[in-house]
Amino acid sequence: MTVIVKMTTRLMAGIIFLYGAYVIIHGHLTPGGGFAGGIIVSGAFILVTLAFGSDFLNLQKEETGSTATENLSILMIILLSAAGLFCGTKIFFLNFLPKGIVGELISAGAIPLYNIFVGIEVASSIFVIFLALVIFKEEDTI
């Protein structure tokens, strides 16, 4: 890509990533949440990959890493939802942590944790789909 695209990406990618993290962490207070913020975070990664490119081996390494991240975070979601079975009234998906005051950042029990793990999962899975398409094309030319 040209210098203009690279320079703009260098300035913008971090801000986009931060905005996605903000949307994920404030998911229980403002509009947004795990799904919306995760896609914004993956957009930052896709922007960097599109602007700077990468060689074939690096891309494959990144794909392996994001697949592992994705599977670990879905495992964490299932463990978190099953953790309600071991506390108190033994209900699946029980919100077992203390609720706190409505409207504060640390409140709503386990909902922010669900938001964070769903955000990680969505971000890595969208990025894996993008990388799979790029790698498929590069593999074709080798």
Partner 1 sequence: MDLAVTIITGFMILGALYAIHARDLLSAVIACGIVGYGLVICFLLLKAPDLAIVQIVVETITLIIMVAVVLNTSREEAYNRLDAQGITQMALSLIMLAVLFYFFYVSISVLDPFGKGTLRMAQAYIQGGAGKTGSANLVTGVVFDFRGYDTLGEATVLVTAVLGVIAILRLKGKK
Which of 38, 37, 40, 35 lies closest to 12 in space, CA to CA? 40
Counting contacts by CB under 8 A, is residue 93 touching partner 1?
A: yes
Nearer to partner 1, 7 or 79 (CB): 79
Alpha-carbon span 83 to 63, nearest angstrom: 30
Alpha-carbon span 105 to 99, nearest angstrom: 11
Q: Is the dihedral of CA 16, 68, 77, 107 positive or negative?
A: negative
Alpha-carbon span 76 to 105, nearest angstrom: 22
What is the closest distance, in whole angstroms, from the C-beta atom of residue 19 to partner 1 in the complex? 10
Nearer to partner 1, 14 or 100 (CB): 100
DSSP H/E element including 51: helix 34-52
Site for partner 1, residues 18 to 77, rule: CB under 8 A: 23, 27-33, 35-36, 39-40, 42-43, 46, 50, 63, 67, 70-71, 74, 77
Q: Which positions lie near partner 1, rule CB under 8 A?
A: 23, 27-33, 35-36, 39-40, 42-43, 46, 50, 63, 67, 70-71, 74, 77-78, 81, 92-93, 95, 99-100, 102-103, 107-111, 114-115, 118, 121-122, 125-126, 128-130, 132-133, 135-137, 139-140
